[in-house]
Homo-oligomer: A and B are copies of this chain.
């Protein structure tokens, strides 16, 4: 596969640079109705747009990646999707990477349609990375792998998620490995096909989603790609859990927090303080010299 587009550096290199300068926090933009009401905004596309503007003002220039949750835009129809187009532009203007949390997944020419929607230069919904769902097989997502690699964008494939209902399927046995491990292995195989040119140590463009709360996480040591890790904070996991599960991939892991930041809104300064505190805590702990006693 090609290592990137003509005009954009590969996603792995861009992610590594963003993590190096801004820490490893990925903050969500989740304008669900209860939060809109708590912020005194309308439960409509205009409310979603204003929620997103304030969120970006609070942390768009602080974090390496911002993750809009597509469902909360889509529920307002075309007007909500128009608000999402604005948010994706706003994330780029703030110097962060956009991770569109859409969990799309289909086959063949239909998957190619989703790839054009989210990963094609010039698409109104183009993002830096997209979350995708592999129920139809990781191979069914190949149009997205190709589109992402060709445009300097990335993917995060759901592997082992933190919700309790996910266990039976993701732990099911598929040819000697769990489904979750098979997904990681198939993604790793695709990273191995990427020509990294003069930057051989950078992560590949293809990542996985693994929850920080699970006690049966797949091995990530041969992924050579990014990890998107929810579960820290409100769901009970710590940064140390994230570091343990990610192993050597921790250096290119985005630790996702959303509600913990957003519930400090609508005050922009208050959200900003929460993000600064979390960024600092993650850095200190990751270096192993935090107050939690890690050696």
Seen from chain A, the residues whose Cβ lies within 8 Å of a Cβ on chain B are 30, 32, 69, 71-72, 74-79, 81-82, 84-85, 101, 103-114, 116-117, 120, 123-125, 133-140, 158, 161, 163-175, 179, 182
Please state the number of chain copies in the assembly: 2
CA distance A84 to B78 in the complex (A): 9
Docked-complex contact A163 and B107, CB < 8 angstroms: yes
- Within 8 Å by CB of A135, from B116, B133, B139, lies B133
Closest to A135 in B: B135
Interface centre among A106, A124, A163 (most CB of B within 10 A): A106
Q: A32 — which chain B residues lie within 8 A by C-beta?
A: 109-110, 112-113
A-B contact pairs, 17 of them (CB 8 A): A32-B112, A32-B113, A71-B111, A75-B117, A77-B81, A77-B85, A77-B125, A107-B166, A133-B135, A135-B166, A135-B169, A135-B170, A137-B166, A137-B169, A168-B182, A172-B172, A173-B174
Considering the complex, give the chain B residue whose CB is closest to the CB of A124: B77
Instruction: Chain B residues near A82: list those with CB within 8 A.
Output: 77-78
Question: A203 → chain B, closest Cβ, in Å?
Answer: 23
CB-based contact B172/A117 at 8 Å? no
Contact residues in B for A30 (Cβ distance below 8 Å): 110
Known contacts A78-B85, A133-B133, A140-B163, A106 near B169 by CB under 8 Å: no
CB A123 to nearest CB in B, in angstroms, measures 7
Instruction: Please measure, in the bound complex, the distance between the C-alpha atom of A71 and the C-alpha atom of B111, giving whole angstroms.
Output: 7
Q: B residues within 8 A CB of A111?
A: 71
Pairwise interchain contact B172-A113, C-beta atoms closer than 8 A: no
Question: A78-B78, A78-B82, A108-B163 are contacts. A71–B135 as well, Cβ < 8 Å?
Answer: no
- CB-based closest 10 A-B pairs: A137-B165, A77-B124, A139-B165, A71-B113, A172-B174, A78-B82, A172-B172, A75-B117, A78-B81, A135-B135
Q: Flag if B174 contacts A113 (CB, 8 Å).
A: no
**CB-based contact A135/B105 at 8 Å:** yes
Bound Cα distance from A114 to B85, whole angstroms: 18
Given A74-B117, A77-B85, CB of A169 within 8 Å of CB of B158:
no
Our pick among B74, B104, B137, B161 for the contact of A163 (Cβ within 8 Å) is B137
Q: Chain B: which residue is nearest A137 at the CB level? A: B165
A142's closest neighbor in chain B, by CB?
B165
Q: Answer whether A75 and B137 are a contact pair too, CB < 8 Å, given A81-B81, A107-B161, A108-B163.
A: no
Pair B77/A123 contact, Cβ less than 8 Å: yes
Q: Is there contact, CB below 8 Å, between A69 and B172?
A: no
Asked if A134 contacts B137 (CB within 8 A), the reply is no
